[in-house]
Chain A
Amino acid sequence: MSPQAGTRAGEKPAPLRGTAITARVGLALGVAVAVCFVTGLISHFIQHPQPWFFWPTRPVWLYRLTQGLHVISGIAAIPLIVVKLWSVWPKLFERPVIGGFVRQLERASILVLVGAMLFQLSTGIMNIAQWYAFEFFFTTSHYAMAYVAAGAVQVHIAVKLPVIRRALGEPLEQPSGELPGVPGLSRGLTRRTVLRGTWLAVAVATVATAGQTVPLLRKVSVLAPRTGQGPQGVPVNSSAIAAGVLRTARSPQYRLTVTDGAVSRAFTLEDLQAMPQVTHRLPIACVEGWSVDAEWTGAVLADLLATVGASPDSDVRMISLEPPGPYSRTTLPARHVRDSQTLIALRLNGEALDLDHGYPCRLIAPTRPGVLQTKWLSRIEVVP
């Protein structure tokens, strides 16, 4: 320590930790959690449609936005929770250790809160890096735990509301340990610095990862699980090898069958190429938070359905060559079926679809999660 450093005689620095910081960082964390929860629910209900759930087809980048926000706000929550837990950590060792029933109840509720939050953040960040070290199914447990976390946050806010109100109403810095009237003059590290540092850390975390969905940040997002590159300039989530379609997708016997009740037609790849071809710029946006824009060329789905006389007002089932699994068949809602930008794509960025992107043909529709843009299509069925 340099001779001039340290506090002046008689001064005792006010503690850095305190509700002034907890409440402010907590507020930001609350916003991040709310964004995560809402965007997560949106993604869930697109994948598990409910009659009351409405998901528009415009703007075409809507899912790219919501799911990008889901992962960005989740990552932003990491520095926020680090600082928030730092600000209250000594409370863990407060006495009495046991205390009364109310105290035990409060401690238990905080255990649930912290446990659920850390569960969500740790599994989420591992999932986007496709690191499945946990031996439970990610989607269902992340979904269920989201309600536990959201509920625990609400209970926590309800319990702490008077403390939060008081803390937010008071000035950030404590007067003790400072020269009168000159805030922050006397110490190296102040609460204001901690708070600014927290926002800085949030910015650093965002810049280091958001490039997988924000093209502008692509070069500087050194910790993003994806660069946004891949075959034909588009990343892949499930490869043709993993899907087990190497042989069937390249087979000369390949046919795309389109059926509506008793009416059925089989298309070869040449038949599909002979149909009027349309090109649209649509994003592919993965549940894992990465997304890129690309040019897709192919037949309009509604045109294809018209060849079997199907009405464009029904849901349509998309069935992949992929052996049965959670995403080998998906249902496209009627709103997306009749959309003029919904394509059965044969080409991507000017080239024939790469095998990993769904050769011979795949679905690409606006505002849909990538996992529902079924690849290696073998059958399109109108749902009665």
Chain B
Amino acid sequence: MTRIVLAALGVVVGGYGAVLLWDNPPVILVRIVVWALVAVVVHDLVFAPVCAALGWSSRRLVPVRWQAPVALAALCSVVLALLAIPVYGKPGLRPDNLSVLDRDYVRGLWWSLAVVWLCVPAYMGGKALKDVAFKRSRQPLPVGQDEVVERERACDIEPQPPTV
């Protein structure tokens, strides 16, 4: 019942949007629909395959231990790059208004990417230190142990499991 009501409501709301769009002259309507369809095609047949290919190859090139932080950094980089598209070359800049697009976006993007990727070795370094401390202590860790164990990978398995 919930589903039927929700679907019916969705059809009404979406239909209202279609009616509003229909108010546009045909040539404008075509431009709007084409914009939406091109966005879908660009995502499905360009953006997604490129991301998939990068993911596929890095899963084979990057050591397993490094894969998680590298994947996270890659996702953050993709998002930063997407956000940079409308500002990077300042295509909307107009000489009469200097309060729009008033940053150095080239520097902003590259610095933010640098910070993101510096987090990868920093994370790995921190993890290595933790592992060393863990191995030295050889004692059950009362608090936060689960977290440490969870972060371990196949290659981290010790000769003897920690006593609980």
Partners in one complex: yes
**Chain B binding surface, main DSSP class:** helix
Whole-angstrom distance between the alpha carbons of A226 and B2 in the complex? 43
Contact B76 A204 (CB under 8 A): yes
Residues of A in contact, count (CB < 8 Å): 94
Using an 8 Å CB-CB cutoff, how does the interface string of B72-94 with A read, 1 for contact, 0 for none? Answer: 10011011101111110001101
Residue A102, interface by CB 8 Å: no
A230 engages B72 (CB within 8 Å): no
State in angstroms the CA–CA spacing of A92 and B43 once bound together.
12
Contact yes or no, B100 A130, CB < 8 A: yes
Query: Which residues 138-176 of A have a CB within 8 angstroms of B?
Result: 140-141, 143-159, 161
Number of interface residues of B (CB under 8 A): 80
Interface status of B15 (Cβ within 8 A of chain A): yes
Q: Does A183 contact B (CB under 8 A)?
A: yes
Cα–Cα, bound, A197→B76 (Å): 8
Interface string of A1-39 (1 = CB under 8 A from B): 110111110000000000000000000000000000000
Say how far B85's CB is from chain A's closest CB, in angstroms.
8
Contact B10 A189 (CB under 8 A): no
Residues of chain B from 100 to 117 with CB closer than 8 A to chain A in the complex: 100-103, 105, 107-109, 111-112, 116
B interface list, Cβ under 8 A from A = 2-4, 6-7, 9-18, 20-21, 23-24, 28, 31-32, 35-37, 39-40, 43-44, 48, 51-52, 59-68, 71-72, 75-76, 78-80, 82-87, 91-92, 94, 96-103, 105, 107-109, 111-112, 116, 149-150, 152-155, 157
> Would you give 29 A-B contacts (Cβ < 8 Å), ordered by A?
A5-B63, A6-B64, A83-B75, A85-B43, A89-B52, A112-B14, A114-B43, A119-B36, A129-B92, A136-B24, A136-B31, A145-B17, A146-B17, A151-B11, A151-B16, A155-B7, A155-B11, A185-B149, A186-B153, A188-B63, A197-B72, A201-B76, A204-B76, A222-B109, A223-B87, A225-B101, A226-B100, A226-B101, A239-B96
